[in-house]
Chains A and B, each alone.
Chain A
Amino acid sequence: MSLKVSSVSCYRSGYKIIDNISFELKTGKLALISGSNGSGKTSLLRMVAGFIPLSFGDISFNSKKEYRDEFFILGHNLAIKDDISPEEDIKFWSSYLGSGYINGVLERVGLGKLKKTPCKYLSQGQKQRLVIARLLSSNKSLWLLDEPSSSLDRDASIFLKEIINEHKNSGGSILVSSHIDFLDNADIKINLDNKNVSS
């Protein structure tokens, strides 16, 4: 079981965004995409998710080109509606994405007391915690995380590291982009500034 990214390049409006990147992320492994602002971290993740078409190269997961129901993506935009509560949000997404609601998941991410509060009253960090709760309920083997710690406080960042390690140890694969080196146990490091992939 692996994610294979082979000689992938991406051009958008004539500009080269990603240039000839290859790596293989096997089961139980963690890959960290790093690079400066505008280096293409988000684009690479969105290409893996199938949201951005590839200009050249090939991406497959478990030898399949179409794998949209096998990953969970946490992007910059959190898909949170103002008028619904964290409890309604997590119940909808866990049912819609097929995994089913896990009791106590909001308490686990520290939103137990706010579970009936409309999301418009949550801070950015609390909203990010809600998305981590979705991640925990998602039951997907591949996690694509785009700057997941950007709005989190110290405790939440530590918690995020813990659940990433838990997922890794249970046989899941994780592809994380971050401009800061918040994960020190990455199996593969992809630096988009110098196009270096190291294992």
Chain B
Amino acid sequence: MFHLKLLLLRELKSSLSLKGSYILSLAFFSITIIVLPIGIGPDKNILSLISPGLIWVSLILTSLLSLNSLFHEDYIDGTLDLYKTGPLSFSEIAFVKSLVHWISNFLPLLFITPVLSLLIALPNNLLIYISLSILIGTPSLSFIGSLGSALTLSLRQHNLLIPLIIFPLFIPTLIFGSGSISSLIFSGFEEVFIRQIYLLTGISGISLVICPFICGYILDSNYD
């Protein structure tokens, strides 16, 4: 537990430094949400029609942007060599790194989403539900995404391969994430929303438990 905490603090400090990817994630997510309505036009009906999908596609693209460096930087600079000789297994390291990826890349987005939601004509009274959907759904993006990062560890073209490998695995999160927001906008049924949130919780929970083990196995067998 001591080593997990030690690694978590180091990774958090590194991720939340000025050089960390969270600034890039914040900027990318904001620009995607801001630019699209400019291209589509000010029609509120069209904007509210596409906004649930837009939010979740932007979240997925944002995650892909930062997943490139999840293990690759540590592999290139030799940090993974030292981690491998330490007390934690690659599964534990993958768990910590995925958790830190979520904290540094998705938690800050929760604070700007209410502001950005106004730009895409989402009703004010739904902002809390949208934030809840993001809070519960996005851990799956970090934990499932770590698999792509581990699979492409030693490949030069890892930037291009991660989206190809991981995007299909994000589809359930995309469906239930955007579905949860759509259910409130178009049908107004909280019951449907809650069902979608349960499904998102299931996906995030399963990925949180299973992905670090698969990731650890991939890293062990992919390491040289």
| A interface residues with partner B (beta carbon < 8 Å) | 12, 46, 49-53, 68-69, 71-73, 75-84, 92-93, 95-98
Q: For residue B78, which residue of chain A has the nearest CB?
A: A77
Question: Are B87 and A95 in touch, CB under 8 angstroms?
Answer: no
Question: Are A79 and B6 in touch, CB under 8 angstroms?
Answer: no
Question: Are B6 and A92 in touch, CB under 8 angstroms?
Answer: yes
Task: Determine whether B191 belongs to the interface, using a CB cutoff of 8 Å to chain A.
Answer: no
Main secondary structure of the interface of A (DSSP, over half): loop
| B interface residues with partner A (beta carbon < 8 Å) | 3, 6-7, 10, 13-14, 17, 19, 74, 76-79, 81-82, 84-87, 223-224
Other A-B contacts than A78-B77, A79-B77, A79-B78, 14 sampled, CB-CB below 8 A, are: A12-B224, A49-B85, A69-B85, A71-B85, A76-B78, A77-B81, A79-B82, A80-B77, A83-B19, A84-B13, A96-B3, A96-B86, A96-B87, A98-B86
Complex Cα distance, B82 from A75, in Å, reads 10
Question: Are B82 and A97 in touch, CB under 8 angstroms?
Answer: yes
Q: For residue A138, which residue of chain B has the nearest CB?
A: B85
Complex Cα distance, B224 from A50, in Å, reads 9
User: Which residues from A are CB-within-8-Å of B14?
Assistant: 81, 83-84
Question: Are B85 and A75 in touch, CB under 8 angstroms?
Answer: no
Question: Are A83 and B17 in touch, CB under 8 angstroms?
Answer: yes
User: Which residues from A are CB-within-8-Å of B81?
Assistant: 49, 51, 73, 75, 77, 79
Complex Cα distance, B87 from A98, in Å, reads 8
Question: Are B7 and A51 in touch, CB under 8 angstroms?
Answer: no
Question: Are B85 and A72 in touch, CB under 8 angstroms?
Answer: yes
Complex Cα distance, B90 from A50, in Å, reads 14
User: Which residues from B are CB-within-8-Å of A46?
Assistant: 224
Quick one: which of B13, B78, B86 contacts A78, CB cutoff 8 A? B78
User: Which residues from A are CB-within-8-Å of B76?
Assistant: 77
